[in-house]
Amino acid sequence: MLPFASIYYTPIIEILCCLGFFCCSFDALRQIDSKKIVAYSSVVHMNLVVLAIFTFTLKGLFGAVLMMVAHGLTSGGFFFSLGALYDRYLTRNVLYFKGLVHVMPIFCTLMFIFMLSNIGFPGSINFISEVLCISGIMQYNFSFLFFFIFFGLLVNTFYNF
């Protein structure tokens, strides 16, 4: 709606998105509540979406739309699975879910597939959307953003595992 204002405030948005990557990634690393981990992961992915939108490139915009769809599917599946775990064990603490693969192997396989999709494993829809977003960002401004995005997505892998 406001194209000149969007162009004018792009550097501020870039800085806020990079701060969002770092703050939410490190907050997710220290959480023990499983739903908070997924919520912080959602914020990290939406920072990437906002950053891709503000590149004003076709790759970035298409990647942002695709990431919103992929994120809706992946995070919805994660929250549904964690809700099923909460109904069964009455806790969301990650420390109590050790050895779950011995009791619920099919469920753990499904959670593993959601986790691979959330980290952007090749072959998943999140991988395609992250590649498009990152290529749009690199087309727009390669200098300092690539390091922040790569580091944020690397930390994303750590807290998902």
67-89 residue pLDDT tens: 999 999 999 999 999 999 999 99
In which band, very low, low, confident or very high, does the pLDDT at 141 lie, cut at 50, 70 and 90?
Answer: confident
27-64 residue pLDDT tens: 999 999 999 999 999 999 999 999 999 989 999 999 99
Written as one letter, the residue type at 154 is: L
In which band, very low, low, confident or very high, does the pLDDT at 149 lie, cut at 50, 70 and 90?
Answer: confident
What count of other Cβ atoms lies within 10 Å of the Cβ of residue 138?
Answer: 17
Cβ distance 150 to 158 under 8 Å?
no
The rounded mean pLDDT for the chain is 90
CA distance 110 to 82: 11
For residue 127 the two structure tokens come to: 């991988």
CA distance 161 to 8: 39
57-70 residue pLDDT tens: 999 999 999 999 99
DSSP reduced 3-state for 118: helix
Tell me, what's the pLDDT at 155? Answer: 87
pLDDT above 70 covers what percent of the chain? 98
